[in-house]
Amino acid sequence: MPVSLLVSTEGSGIDRYSQELAKRLPVSTISTGRYQSIRQTISLARQFALLKQPVHLPNQHFGRWVPWLNHPSIVTVHDLVRLAFPFAKEGWISAMGLARDRTGIRKAAHVICVSEATKRDLMCYLDVPEEKITVIHNGVDHHVFNPRQKQDSSGSRSPYLLYVGSERPRKNLGMLLRAFALIKQQGHPFDSLALLKVGPAGRSDAFRKGTLDEAHRLGIKSDIQFVEQVSDQELAVIYSNAVALVFPSLYEGFGLPVVEAMACGCPVITSNVSSLPEIAGSAALLVDPHNSTALVEAIRCVVLDPTCRARLRVQGLLRARDFTWDRTAEATFALYQRVFAHLETEAAPSNG
């Protein structure tokens, strides 16, 4: 069945989703930025007007286009963080766009969610009927994310804990900083432990300022290294060299770094809330993200106990096998056939 897939061109996990599907699905594609100028918006509207087939909109930020399409659409919702988690106040233009996204998601022929947690949020906050929702997990590219030879190519002194992601409040990086400061106070062997933070701060420079201010207050600023951008190949090496990925987020629609780290044989410590227990399963140490003592104890376990590290490594590698982009694409294509073929049948004129 002919389907058009919108592909967003930025480099975050939410953009990778559409880019990976585009490599694997027999669909036509339309490329666009997730954040568009007026000219780009007009161009995209013209392309949509010429379409003669259903459309897959690959994230919730494109939900606003659903009412303007001439054909049925599927929308993928990665998270509902703007509804489920306290957020900085939006300007009126942004708020209006988000409202249009929510309207479009409700009007879509079907909705894909990347986790059961996001499905629950979708039913709770937007009242989308369960029968209109299908959960299809994200994947990981195992040709890239796999255990690499141990080396100090990260540029950080070894050993190091790793955090991958932005510094937005919901990421809970401040809690990791406080736990890291506590464990550094315990002396050997933690006195040589570093923290490597990979990824940009996020939408606001205030996020990085807050991180640096907190690190200075805790006396650990010299023990933290910031790396803004790395290639996937470099990131795989960084995962493979880390003592553990520590990912104490308060809210995630999926949590791609958890699976990437596991695929590289990196032990994972993550939160016991939102989608993270669903994605990590029993292959990670799950902690209360509000409890710095619990986070410290999890870090101690990984640093001091070789048996703990080995168990997390083996279980993580096994768990990561459940997440592949090929499997994501196959399930997505099967959904196209089910949803769009059904709609075609309903729309076909009766011979009777």
pLDDT cut 70: percent of the chain above it: 93
Give yes or no for a contact between 60 and 105, defined as CB atoms under 8 angstroms apart. Answer: yes
Element (H, E) at 278: helix 276-280
pLDDT value at position 173?
A: 96
pLDDT cut 90: percent of the chain above it: 77
Residue 350: is its pLDDT beyond 70? no
pTM score of the predicted model:
0.92
Residue where the block lists tokens 């995962």? 239
Strands 110-113 and 73-77: parallel
Confidence of residue 75 (pLDDT cuts 50, 70, 90): very high
Element (H, E) at 198: strand 194-198
- Find out if CATH 1.20.200.10 is the number for domain 4-139+324-347: no
pLDDT value at position 2?
A: 86
CATH number for the 160-320 domain, one of 3.10.129.10, 1.10.10.10, 3.40.50.2000, 3.40.640.10?
3.40.50.2000
- Summarised one tens digit per residue, pLDDT across range 28-40 is 999 998 887 788 8
Q: What gap in Å lies between CA 256 and CA 276, rounded to an integer?
A: 10
Q: Does 160-320 match 4-139+324-347 at the fold level?
A: yes
- Summarised one tens digit per residue, pLDDT across range 197-218 is 999 988 778 899 999 999 999 9
R_g over Cα of the chain: 21
The two three-digit tokens of residue 47, written as one number:
């392309």
The two three-digit tokens of residue 187, written as one number:
């002396």
Helix axes 232-241, 256-263, angle to 10 degrees: 70
Residue 143: is its pLDDT beyond 60? yes
Mean per-residue pLDDT for 309-323? 98
Residue 153: is its pLDDT beyond 50? no
Residue 155: is its pLDDT beyond 70? no
Round the average pLDDT of the chain to a whole number and report it: 91
Q: What gap in Å lies between CA 30 and CA 26, rounded to an integer?
A: 13
User: Collapsing DSSP states into helix, strand and coil, what is residue 94?
Assistant: helix
**Could you state, in order of their start, the residue ranges of all structural domains in the chain?**
4-139+324-347, 160-320
Q: How far is CA 47 from the centre of its chain?
A: 28
Q: What gap in Å lies between CA 54 and CA 25, rounded to an integer?
A: 14
User: Collapsing DSSP states into helix, strand and coil, what is residue 269?
Assistant: strand
Identify the bridge partners of residue 285 per DSSP, sorted by sequence position: 269
* Residue 248 DSSP code: -
Mean per-residue pLDDT for 170-186? 96
Closest by CA position to 5, among listed 50, 55, 77: 55
Confidence of residue 88 (pLDDT cuts 50, 70, 90): low
* Residue 249 DSSP code: -
Confidence of residue 100 (pLDDT cuts 50, 70, 90): very high
Residue 90: is its pLDDT beyond 80? no
Identify the bridge partners of residue 197 per DSSP, sorted by sequence position: 163, 226
* Residue 140 DSSP code: B
Does 189 sit behind a cis peptide bond, omega within 30 degrees of 0 on the bond before it? yes
Does 159 sit behind a cis peptide bond, omega within 30 degrees of 0 on the bond before it? yes
Mean per-residue pLDDT for 78-89? 80
